[in-house]
Every structure is written in C-alpha cells, then in structure tokens.
C-alpha cells in the first residue's frame, strides 16, 4: 500500500464538540466555539485579537483590506510561497513585488528586501516556511525604518516561536491556516491574528459583512448597520467546534509531529554529511513545530528522479511551490529580476509524507528508499 503524503488526523472528540455546538442553539458563526478558540489563541500565543476565518486566504484578504491599499501601492512578497500569499493582494489592487528566498533556507532573504522598497511600498508579507521563523529582527527593523506594515503568513507556523515569541504575534497582522494539510485542522479554516490594536475595531466590522454586528452582540450599539466595506469571513460553529477539539489536543499533536520530524532528520543526516542532500536547518532564534519535513536535492534532475523513484516505491513524496514571479498570471507583470533561490527551492525540494499517524516503520522504509536511490 502506498504511504500517502498526508492523512488528516482526528482526535476522536470532534463529533462530540460538533453535537454540542448544534445543541447550544447556534450553528452560524461567532458562537460559543468560535469564542473559545479565539480566546485560546489570544491567551496561548499573545495575539491582541484573534478572529477565526473560513481560510488563511480569507485572513490574508482581510489584511489586504485593513491596510487600505490604493491602486499602485506595492507589497513585497516572497516568490517561493503558496498562491494566496500574493493573489489576495493583487485582488485588492496592489502591485506585487516579488522577493527572493535566502540561500540558506526558503524564507524571504532579509538582506534583499531594502533594495525593493520605493515610496509606493506599503507592506512586507513574509512566510515562515515549514514553521521555521524568518529573521524577524532584521525584517522588523527595515519595516520600522521605512514605516511599512508586516503581515506574517503563518499558515505553517502554529505553536512555533522566534526568540520565545509566538509566530503570528510579531507582525501587525498574521494569518493562519487549518486546512487539512496543516498541523491543526478543521477541513478548511483559518484565523487572522491582530497585534496592532488600531486594526481591531475595523477588522471586526470587515469580518461581519461590513456591519457592526460584533459590537451589537456585545451590547455596545442598539442596532447593527452597514458601516464599512466587508465580506463574510467567519466560519460556522461546526468548523469552530472541530477546531476546538483539535486545540484541546494541541500538545499531543505537536509532540508527535516533532518526533516524526526528528526521526526523519536523524535518519537522513548521514546522507547530508556525504553531501548528497541538504536538510532543513533551524537557526538559533527559531523553533521547529513539526509542520513538514523536506529535503533539498543537489540539482533539479536528481530531484525529479528521486521523486519518481519514491513514488514507484509507494512513497507519496511531493514537490512544493512553483515560483510565483514565473506563474502564468504574473510573469508578464513581473519586473524581470531573476530570483535564483526561489527557483532553486522550487526545482530541488522534496517534501516527505508527514502526518500524525505516520509510523517509525513507515519512516524507516521511506529513508531506506532514499538511501537506495543514492546508492
């Protein structure tokens, strides 16, 4: 039987919480479980405000709306990331300026950001790839110096830290994903974390279709009305109930995922020492949250052959992001700069099967196959 790339993990408590949500008499959004999840995030990770959303993409879109983009405004975004990190900013009329990755890891290269800043630049969006923190001090200094917003796409980054501070708590705004391929899941789902207090009031309005319904529910206004732009970004209580069951098991899920990560790392280390592959590196300022395990092949040809070899041997390993500056939608709009590291990660990364129920036996088999390929 093939070892799948991903298999959604359920704690077993999800059905119970879904039934409780239904019995509580409100299955639409912003009910009991939404509030429980949001306070959990605020307390545990120190976000000033957390709002559940239907996806990370929607949380990013809320961020795009919140920073008040005007036509011509520029947003600096890494090319090596998922489409929605960039597409929602394009949807809200920003010009996307793509940045390259570092040579040592797939995160945005902090030393190449400043040269991209113009008087039109409004924000820097960054992605902590695989849950491993970007070099935040450098990036935050640049943002401060040029008065720019930082938006963290923290889709991979639940329960991961930069110098002891939770990822998603450092930027003005941050987005998380609970899509079934992430650490904590609700099928589809996401969250906007707000760390700059000035955004909270307006975020609550945008979240609820442009109305002041959140304030109304808290008894702060007598009726709820249309007060700003907005959309329907809040998930139903069914989604929040699933998420809550997962959050109650966060510790155990994270422990297991980190064990899997370590198991891959130890077993593949000898191949790295022989110079055959490269493994993810965790800088001193960062932590590992067991989001994914990837290896970097020495060249694209070898990567493609290894992928084929693993798949022929029933291991569903996969490649990852295609560089967005070369995408069909953006290549004509890109300014032509070469982004060699983004292209190299796109061509050379292989992600290994990674899910809670992956066994040591599976990992031993997968690593054996990688070893056989290099023999």
Ligand X SMILES: *Cc1c(COP(=O)(O)O)cnc(C)c1O
Interface residue list for ligand X (CB under 6 A):
55-57, 81-82, 84-85, 127, 153, 155-156, 177, 179, 190
Q: Pick between residue 56 and residue 324 the one whose CB is nearest to ligand X.
A: 56
Q: Pick between residue 155 and residue 260 the one whose CB is nearest to ligand X.
A: 155
Q: Pick between residue 155 and residue 297 the one whose CB is nearest to ligand X.
A: 155
User: How does 294-316 read in b/e, with b if 16+ C-beta sit within 10 Å?
Assistant: bbbbeeeebbeebbebbeebebb
Instruction: Please give the Cα distance from 303 to 348 (Å, whole number).
Output: 5
Least distance between ligand X and beta carbon 98 (Å): 15
Q: Pick between residue 127 and residue 352 the one whose CB is nearest to ligand X.
A: 127
Least distance between ligand X and beta carbon 362 (Å): 23
In three-state secondary structure terms, 281 is coil
Q: What's the angle, vertex CA 33, arms to CA 30 and CA 38, rounded to 5?
A: 75
Q: Pairing state of beta strands 149-153 and 121-127?
A: parallel
Nearest alpha-carbon partner for 346 in 319, 317, 306: 319
Least distance between ligand X and beta carbon 153 (Å): 5
Q: Pick between residue 178 and residue 367 the one whose CB is nearest to ligand X.
A: 178
Dihedrals phi, psi of 97, to nearest 5 degrees: -110, 110
Least distance between ligand X and beta carbon 175 (Å): 7
Least distance between ligand X and beta carbon 84 (Å): 5
Least distance between ligand X and beta carbon 10 (Å): 18
The per-residue DSSP string of 289-340 comes to -----EEEESSHHHHHHHHHHHHHTTB--B--PPPGGGSTTTTTTS-----H
The residue assigned the tokens 């974390």 is 193
Question: Strand (E) positions, the chain?
Answer: 49-53, 74-78, 95-99, 121-127, 149-153, 161-162, 165-166, 173-177, 190-194, 277-278, 294-297, 349-351
Q: Pick between residue 171 and residue 190 the one whose CB is nearest to ligand X.
A: 190
Least distance between ligand X and beta carbon 162 (Å): 16
Q: Using an 8 Å Cβ cutoff, are 212 and 224 in contact? A: yes
Taking phi first (over 0 means left), then psi (-120 to 50 degrees means alpha), and beta for anything else, what does residue 257 get? alpha
Least distance between ligand X and beta carbon 359 (Å): 25
Q: Pick between residue 190 and residue 230 the one whose CB is nearest to ligand X.
A: 190
Residue 51's beta-bridge partner residues?
Answer: 192
Q: Pick between residue 267 and residue 320 the one whose CB is nearest to ligand X.
A: 320
Least distance between ligand X and beta carbon 1 (Å): 27
Q: Pick between residue 106 and residue 212 the one whose CB is nearest to ligand X.
A: 106
Kindly list the distances between the CA atom of residue 134 and the CA atoms of 63, 129, 130, 140, 149, in Å, as whole numbers in the listed order: 19, 8, 11, 10, 16
């Amino acid at each position: 039987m093939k070892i799948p790339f991903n298999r959604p993990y359920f704690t077993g408590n999800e059905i119970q919480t879904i039934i409780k949500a239904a019995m509580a008499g409100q299955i639409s959004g912003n009910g009991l479980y939404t509030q429980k999840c949001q306070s959990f995030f605020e307390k545990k990770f120190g976000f000033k405000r957390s709002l559940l959303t239907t996806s990370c993409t929607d949380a990013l879109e809320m961020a795009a709306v919140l920073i008040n983009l005007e036509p011509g405004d520029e947003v600096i975004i890494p090319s090596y990331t998922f489409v929605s990190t960039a597409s929602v900013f394009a949807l809200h009329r920003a010009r996307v300026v793509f940045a390259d990755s570092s040579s040592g890891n797939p995160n945005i290269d902090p030393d190449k950001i400043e040269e991209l800043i113009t008087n039109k630049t409004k924000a820097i969006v960054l992605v902590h790839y695989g849950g491993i923190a970007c070099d935040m001090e450098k990036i935050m200094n640049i943002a401060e110096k040029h008065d720019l917003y930082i938006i963290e796409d923290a889709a991979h980054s639940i329960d991961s830290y930069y110098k002891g501070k939770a990822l998603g708590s450092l930027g003005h705004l941050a987005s998380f994903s609970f899509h079934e391929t992430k650490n904590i899941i609700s099928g589809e789902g996401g969250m906007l974390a707000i760390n700059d207090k000035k955004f909270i009031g307006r975020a609550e309005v945008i979240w609820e279709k442009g109305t002041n319904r959140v304030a109304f529910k808290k008894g702060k206004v007598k009726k709820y009305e249309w007060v700003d732009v907005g959309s329907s970004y809040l998930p139903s209580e069914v989604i929040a109930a699933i998420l809550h069951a997962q959050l109650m098991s966060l510790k155990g899920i994270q422990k297991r995922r980190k064990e899997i990560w370590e198991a891959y790392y130890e077993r593949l280390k000898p191949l790295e020492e022989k110079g055959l592959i490269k493994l993810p590196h965790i800088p001193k300022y960062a932590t590992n949250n067991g989001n994914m395990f990837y290896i970097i092949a020495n060249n694209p040809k070898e990567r493609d052959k290894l992928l084929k070899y693993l798949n022929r041997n029933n291991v569903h390993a996969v490649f990852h992001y295609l560089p967005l500056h070369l995408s069909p939608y953006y290549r004509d709009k890109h300014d032509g700069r070469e982004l060699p590291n983004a292209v190299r990660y796109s061509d050379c990364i292989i992600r290994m099967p990674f899910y809670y129920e992956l066994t040591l036996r599976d990992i031993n088999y997968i690593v054996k196959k990688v070893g056989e390929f290099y023999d």
